[in-house]
Structure 1
Amino acid sequence: MELELRHFKIICAVAEAGSITKAASTLGLAQPALTAQLHRIERALGGPLFERDRRGARPTPLGELVLARAKLLLPAVSGLREEAARFANNAALPGDTPARLRLGSATGPVLGGLVHQLNAVHPELEVTTHVSWSSEELAGMLADGRVDYALVGVCGDAPPPAQPGLIWRTLATDPVFVLLSTDHPEAGKAEVELSALAGEQWGATPGDGCFAECFAAACARAGFTPRTLYETDVVTCIDMVEAGDAVVLCQPMFREMPGVVPVPIAGNPLRWRNLVGWHPDSATASFADQLVKLAGAAYQDVIARRPRYSRFLERYPMYGVEGDRAAL
Structure 2
Amino acid sequence: MELELRHARIVVTINTAGSISAGAQELGLPQPSLTAQLRRIERAVGGDLFVRSRSGVTPTELGARLVPRLADLVRRADEVMAEALASSGGPLRLGCAEWTPPTLRDALQAALPGNTVQTQTLAPEAAAEAVQRGALAAALVPRVPEPADGDGGGDGDGGEPALGHALIVREPVWLAVPLGHPLTARESVGSDELAELTDRAGLAWVRSSQDHWFRTVERRVLGGGAAPGRVLHHVNSHQEAMNWVRGMDVAALTTPSGAVPGVALVPVTDTERVELVLLWRGNAVSRETLHTLVDTVRAYYCGYARSLPAYWSWIQEHRDEYRELGRHLPQPVVA
Provide the TM-score with structure 2 as the length reference. Answer: 0.58
Report the CA distance shift for 1:107/1:212 in structure 2 as closer, same or farther (over 3 A): closer
1:307 to 291, 294, 309: 309
Q: Give, in whole Å, the separation in 2 of the partners of 1:212 and 1:273.
A: 15
Q: Which residue of 2 aligns with 1:265?
A: 268
Counterpart of 1:240? 244
Name 2:155's counterpart in structure 1: none
How far apart are the structure 2 equivalents of 1:239 and 1:274?
Answer: 22
Superposed displacement of residue 225, structure 1: 5.1
Q: Does 1:182 align with 2:171?
A: no
Displacement, 1:283?
5.0
Equivalent residue number for residue 295 of structure 1: 297
Q: CA RMSD in A?
A: 3.3
Q: CA deviation at 1:156?
A: 3.4
Please list every run of 5 or more consecutive structure 2 residues that lacks an aligned counterpart in the other structure: 1-80, 149-157, 327-335
Say which SS state the counterpart of residue 171 (structure 1) adopts: strand
Question: What is the identity, as a one-letter code, of the residue corresponding to 2:246?
Answer: E
CA distance in 2, matches of 1:225, 1:248: 10
Give 1:238 shift.
Answer: 3.0
* 1:143-193 deviation per Cα after TM superposition (whole angstroms, max 9, x unaligned): 11000010001123469x996211011111010112101242212222123
Q: Which amino acid aligns with 1:217?
A: R
- 1:265 CA drift (Å): 1.3
SS in 2 for 1:224: coil
CA apart distance, 1:207 = 8.9
Structure 1 contact 148–284 (Cα < 8 Å) conserved: no
Aligned-partner Cα distance in 1 for 2:145–2:82: 36
Q: Does the Cα contact within 8 Å between 2:177 and 2:249 map onto a contact in 1?
A: no
Q: Name the CA distance, whole Å, in 1 between partners of 2:172 and 2:118.
A: 29
Query: Residue 98 of structure 2 contacts residue 237 of structure 2 at CA under 8 Å; is this kept in 1?
Result: no
2:219 to 195, 204, 216: 216
1:118 aligns with 2:131: no
Mapping for residues 1-328 of structure 1, pairs under 5 Å: 90-92=85-87, 100-108=91-99, 112-132=102-122, 134-157=123-146, 164-193=161-190, 194-199=194-199, 200-204=203-207, 211-220=214-223, 224=225, 226-227=227-228, 228=231, 230-255=234-259, 257-258=261-262, 260-267=263-270, 269-284=271-286, 286-320=288-322, 322-323=324-325
Name the structure 2 match of 1:78: none
SS at match of 1:262: strand
- Once residues 286 and 208 of structure 1 are traced to their aligned partners in structure 2, the CA distance between those partners, rounded to angstroms, is 36
Equivalents in 1 of 2:292, 2:82: separation in Å?
21
Shift of the 210–232 alpha-carbon distance from structure 1 to 2, 3 Å rule, reads closer
Contact 1:216 1:226 in 2 (8 A): no
Q: CA deviation at 1:294?
A: 1.2
Q: What's the CA shift string for 1:211-256, capped at 9, x where partnerless?
A: 4244223323xx7354336223445423321334521211213455
Over 3 Å counting, the alpha-carbon distance change for 1:307 and 1:323 in structure 2 is closer
**CA drift at 1:142:** 0.5
Q: In 2 relative to 1, CA 319–113 (structure 1 residues): closer, same or farther, beyond 3 Å?
A: farther
**Contact persistence 1:175–1:251 (CA under 8 A):** yes
Helix, strand or coil for the counterpart of 1:102?
strand
**Equivalent-residue separation in structure 1 for 2:294 and 2:95 (angstroms):** 14
Instruction: Number of aligned residue pairs: give it.
Output: 228
Which one has the largest radius of gyration?
1
TM superposition score normalised by structure 1:
0.59
Q: For residues 151 and 186 of structure 1, what CA distance do their matches in structure 2 show? A: 32
Amino acid of the residue matched to residue 130 of structure 1?
Answer: Q
* Unaligned ranges ≥5, structure 1: 1-85
- Give the direction of change, closer, same or farther, for the CA distance of 1:209–1:248 in structure 2 (3 Å limit): closer
SS at match of 1:141: helix
Task: Give 1 or 2: higher helix fraction.
Answer: 2
Q: Percent identity?
A: 21
Deviation at 1:104, TM superposition (A): 0.2
Amino acid at match of 2:298: G
Seen in structure 2, the aligned counterparts of structure 1 residues 180 and 231 have a Cα distance that, compared at 3 Å, is: same
Whether the 8 Å CA contact 2:82–2:286 is kept in 1: the answer is no
Asked if 2 retains the 8 angstrom alpha-carbon contact of 1:154 and 1:209, the reply is: no
